[in-house]
Amino acid sequence: MPSISQKGQLMPQSPIRKLVPFAEAAKTRGVEIHHLNIGQPDIKTPEGALNAVRNTNIEVLAYSHSAGFASYRNKLASYYKRNGIEVDTSDIIVSTGGSEALLFAMGSITDPGDEIIIPEPFYANYNGFATASGVQVVPVISTLEEGFALPPIADFEKLISDKTKAIVICNPGNPTGYLYSKEEIEQLAILVKKHDLFLIADEVYREFAYDGLQHHSVMSQRDIDDHTIMIDSVSKRYSMCGARIGCIVSRNKEVIATAMKFAQARLSPPTFAQLAAEAALDTPDSYFTQVIEEYVARRDTLVQGLESIPGVKVAKPKGAFYCIAELPVKNADHFAQWLLESFDLNGKTAMVAPAAGFYSSNGVGLNQVRIAYVLEESALKEAVEILREALKVYQD
């Protein structure tokens, strides 16, 4: 039989989705599941975005420009300007989700065998994108005890070699909810300039900054224009995960010209989704005010509930809508599967994402889970009680 590629064998499973068969089996048994495992917001998509698709009079569903609609890129540039980020339309390429933008970035700046440094835990698919690109992830560990703050710059410098091409951050962070301060972004700017590296920032959760804190984009560091690459997406901002529209943004003309070749190879981003994304940019600020208030209330409900469970530790998120919780178990993978296979409380159980898959270091995060607080407060309270009662009876 023909063999599968080594790359295919090395491609990691998603820690977020790998338990789906067990969840489906539980639902077949009649168990209701509180989905804490995936960052699918339940917030309604802005009506204007949906109407843009409903009311279109397109007669031929044609290709768009490989960089995306010019009208959409123009509005994106205006959106970024309102957020203190001065970029030109030509600095933006629309992608099929933030995922494709990350693949474009890695394809444009790395060769097989190169390395990228990422503070861990990090968005699990970074491992997959790196594997697909033949790139080695070099982790620098941030800790729950420090709230998953940026590790000391000295820890980064120890890992930099002649194979290092970039440092990658997610800000605010998935899966930690950590929001990097202006000072931390400035430290990274000094580092990448000193060692002539790229700084790739996944900023898809930009709007979700809490407790009066402000998001600081890497694109605000004008002294490293040739070093910065920003990844963005409408998925979380407008609760449009299914639209699959993102973008790669850089003032480095060579990066954008190279990314454009990858964009041309996949022809164009989807037309209807671009129409929706363009219309979503007209969403009033009041939408985000209400959404942020809702997420802060959910965060506080979840964190307070988790902290009341004996043996559970949690770092309070400053942004996004995730947290990492450390449980009094040896193996969170086994516990998460057991929750779906063998436990329910009044006919209900909870689905969490084992956090080991958000690390690339072996043996780290084995007793941690990522929880997405994308459910209403009442459901979060029920989920916390499910975890509380489950931990009382669970045997490693």
| Residue 84 near residue 230 (C-beta atoms within 8 A) | no
| Residue 126 near residue 102 (C-beta atoms within 8 A) | yes
Model pLDDT, residue 189: 98
How large is the average pLDDT for residues 181-200? 98
Name which of 12-16, 216-220, 338-342 the model is least confident about.
12-16
Q: Specify the residue for token string 């029920």.
A: 382
Model pLDDT, residue 216: 98
Beta bridge partners of 199: 167, 228
Evaluated on CA atoms 154, 180, 106, 84, the torsion sign reads negative
Whether the pLDDT of residue 16 is over 90: the answer is no
Confidence of residue 240 (pLDDT cuts 50, 70, 90): very high
- Residue of 9, 71, 128 lying closest to 274 (CA atoms): 71
Model pLDDT, residue 365: 96
- Residue of 9, 116, 18, 20 lying closest to 357 (CA atoms): 18
Task: Give per-residue burial for 283-301: e unless 16+ CB within 10 Å, then b.
Answer: beeebeeebeebbbebbeb
pTM: 0.96
Q: Identity (one letter) of the amino acid at 51?
A: N
Q: Residue 311 burial (CB < 10 Å; 0-12/13-18/19+)? A: exposed
Distance, in Å, from the CA atom of 140 to the CA atom of 120, rounded to the nearest integer, reads 6
Whether the pLDDT of residue 17 is over 80: the answer is no
Model pLDDT, residue 15: 72
Distance, in Å, from the CA atom of 177 to the CA atom of 323, rounded to the nearest integer, reads 6
DSSP string, 280-348: HTT--HHHHHHHHHHHHHHHHHHHHHHHTSTT-EEPPPSBTTEEEEE-SSS-HHHHHHHHHHH--BTTE
Whether the pLDDT of residue 396 is over 90: the answer is no
How large is the average pLDDT for residues 181-186? 98
Model pLDDT, residue 12: 86
Q: Identity (one letter) of the amino acid at 210?
A: Y
DSSP string, 333-392: HHHHHHHHHH--BTTEEEE-EEGGGG--STTSSTTEEEEE--S-HHHHHHHHHHHHHHHH
Distance, in Å, from the CA atom of 83 to the CA atom of 87, rounded to the nearest integer, reads 11
Q: Residue 187 burial (CB < 10 Å; 0-12/13-18/19+)? A: middle
Confidence of residue 363 (pLDDT cuts 50, 70, 90): very high
CB atoms near residue 140 (< 10 Å): 19
- C-alpha distances (whole Å) from 118 to each of 14, 92, 141, 170, 352 are 18, 24, 8, 9, 23
Dump pLDDT digits (tens) for 124-155.
999 999 999 999 999 999 999 999 999 999 99
Which residues, other chains included, contact 82 with Cβ-Cβ below 8 Å and sequence gap of 6+? Answer: none
Confidence of residue 18 (pLDDT cuts 50, 70, 90): confident
CATH superfamily of 6-44+286-393: Aspartate Aminotransferase, domain 1 (3.90.1150.10)
Dump pLDDT digits (tens) for 45-75.
999 999 999 999 999 999 999 999 999 999 9
Dump pLDDT digits (tens) for 312-344.
999 999 999 999 999 999 999 999 999 999 999
Instruction: State both tokens at 20.
Output: 């789906």
CB atoms near residue 62 (< 10 Å): 8
| Residue 123 near residue 99 (C-beta atoms within 8 A) | no
Dump pLDDT digits (tens) for 150-180.
999 999 999 999 999 999 999 999 999 999 9
Q: Indicate the domain borders of the chain.
A: 6-44+286-393, 57-280
Distance, in Å, from the CA atom of 193 to the CA atom of 185, rounded to the nearest integer, reads 12
Which residues, other chains included, contact 289 with Cβ-Cβ below 8 Å and sequence gap of 6+? Answer: none
Work out the mean pLDDT of the chain and round it to a whole number.
96
Dump pLDDT digits (tens) for 74-101.
999 999 999 999 999 999 999 999 999 9
Architecture in CATH for domain 57-280: 3-Layer(aba) Sandwich (3.40)
Model pLDDT, residue 382: 98
